[in-house]
Amino acid sequence: MENNVGELTRRDALLRLLRIAGAGAGTAGLGVWLSKHSFRPEAAVASSAKRGHAVPADPNYPEMAVLQGNDAAALVREAIKDLGGMQRFVSRGDVVLVKPNIGWDRTPEQAANTNPDVVAEVVRQCLGAGAKRVVVTDVSCNEPRRCFQRSGIGEAAKQAGAEVILPEPSNFKEVDLQGDVLHAWSVFVPFLNADKIINVPIAKHHALTGTTLGMKNWYGMLGGQRNQLHQKIHESLVDLAGFVRPTLTIIDCYRILLRNGPTGGNLEDVLLKKTLLASTDPVAIDAYAAKAYWDIDVDALPYLKLAAKRGLGTYEFEKLRTSVRQLS
């Protein structure tokens, strides 16, 4: 009984930190580890060969970092430092693909795409760790050139040293994704050539799934008629996550789109939270953000349970070793 109470306390503490974050958040320092002695179940070995980009677990570091502060780039730097530094995730000579959400013809203030300052700092961190190339790309929903330009991500990524690649129709390849519902599908080639893949979505509302976070961001690697996947959206999300198995997931919560997602457009739907999440567990980080910002439980997001069942992570985010800090 005592253990159950303790876990509930840690869960409530983590959720409270995200809910109070933002311009009105308290300024007390929070250099704490929650769930210090907890563990995450080991991922099951895949029965068939799949492309994966995850790095080995390391019990010396947290599995998730939660940071709050005014400077988006500083949040990225400190979150990566908490998780062991980018050199833990990127080796010298690696080709790294950074996958923001660049789906929509919107400005950064409208919070439909990832914050360009977050993307740029991820690029700098990868290059600083010795990456040979850093590619920033997405398969946009609106006209790609317009999305890359108006989001601010194209220019910010280039200035940071990235190679920005637009989704040209000739640069897709049909691939067997070896999923339960996804088999042969058109995949944007840069995703097939990367040594490491870092997922950098923005936290926002989605009319169909309730939220769009890390795992939903993988739709941006596919060509073809992606709307067909909505018929079995939860199963397709897990198939994609199992195919990619990202090196790291960083969720931009600097601004979040609370309503009318995924496209947004109305600034009244945007909430300034000045927060960033980073984790080696792509399932837990989605579960955490969904519960904290939209009060959506796992039962309403079947893809989280399906992903956990396949050994992709745990939806019990309170069991992760978590570093929580407020930057000055």
What domains does the chain contain, in order, with CATH numbers? 2-36+49-326 (3.40.50.11440)
Q: In this model, does residue 151 exceed pLDDT 90?
A: yes
Q: In this model, does residue 1 exceed pLDDT 70?
A: no
Residue 247 CA to residue 109 CA, distance in Å, equals 28
Residue 193: φ, ψ to 5°:
-105, 0
Q: In this model, does residue 13 exceed pLDDT 80?
A: no
Q: What is the pLDDT of residue 33?
A: 36
Tokens of 97: 């693909």
38 pLDDT tier (thresholds 50, 70, 90)? very low
Q: Which amino acid is at 66?
A: V
How confident is the model over 108-132, as pLDDT tens digits?
999 999 999 999 999 999 999 999 9
Which residue in 246, 241, 251 sits closest to 211, CA to CA?
Answer: 251
Judging by DSSP bridges, how do beta strands 210-212 and 163-165 pair with one another?
unpaired
Q: Which contacts qualify for 170-174: CB closer than 8 Å, 24 or more apart?
A: 172/223
Q: What is the pLDDT of residue 113?
A: 98
Q: What is the pLDDT of residue 8?
A: 55
Mean pLDDT of 179-192: 93
Tokens of 77: 């730097």
Q: In this model, does residue 42 exceed pLDDT 60?
A: no
Tokens of 226: 């992606």
DSSP state, 48?
A: S
Residue 237 CA to residue 243 CA, distance in Å, equals 10
327 pLDDT tier (thresholds 50, 70, 90)? very high
User: What percentage of the chain reaches a pLDDT higher than 90?
Assistant: 79
Q: What is the pLDDT of residue 208?
A: 83
Residue burial 209-231, b: 16+ Cβ < 10 Å; e: rest: bebbbbbbbbbbbbbeeeeebee
> Which residue(s) pair with 164 in the sheet?
136
Give the list of residues 6+ apart from residue 224 with CB closer than 8 angstroms, or none: 185, 186
Residue 206 CA to residue 290 CA, distance in Å, equals 11
Task: Provide the residue count of the chain.
Answer: 328
Mean pLDDT of 226-239: 88
State the pTM of this model: 0.89
Q: What is the pLDDT of residue 228?
A: 80
Lowest mean pLDDT among 17-26, 139-148, 229-238: 17-26
Q: In this model, does residue 2 exceed pLDDT 60?
A: no
Query: Whole-number mean pLDDT of the chain?
Result: 88
Q: What is the pLDDT of residue 209?
A: 85
Q: In this model, does residue 261 exceed pLDDT 60?
A: yes
Q: In this model, does residue 41 exceed pLDDT 50?
A: no
DSSP string of 230-280? GGGHHHHHHHHHHHH--SEEEEEEEEEE-SSTTT---GGGEEEEEEEEEES
What residue ranges in 101-240 does DSSP mark as E strands? 133-137, 163-165, 172-176, 184-188, 196-200, 202-206, 210-212
Give the list of residues 6+ apart from residue 119 with CB closer than 8 angstroms, or none: 98, 100, 136, 153, 156, 157, 160, 200
Q: In this model, does residue 45 exceed pLDDT 50?
A: no
Residue 222 CA to residue 215 CA, distance in Å, equals 13
Rounded to a whole number of angstroms, the CA Rg of the chain reads 18
Residue 261 CA to residue 43 CA, distance in Å, equals 32
Question: Could you tell me the sign of the dihedral formed by the alpha carbons of 60, 64, 68, 72, in that order?
Answer: positive
Lowest mean pLDDT among 8-22, 108-122, 125-139, 269-283: 8-22
Mean pLDDT of 194-222: 95
DSSP state, 46?
A: P
| CA-to-CA separations, 95 to 156, 162, 218, 239, in angstroms, rounded | 19, 11, 18, 24
211 close to 176: Cβ distance less than 8 angstroms: no
How confident is the model over 73-101, as pLDDT tens digits?
999 999 999 999 999 999 999 999 999 99
Q: In this model, does residue 10 exceed pLDDT 80?
A: no
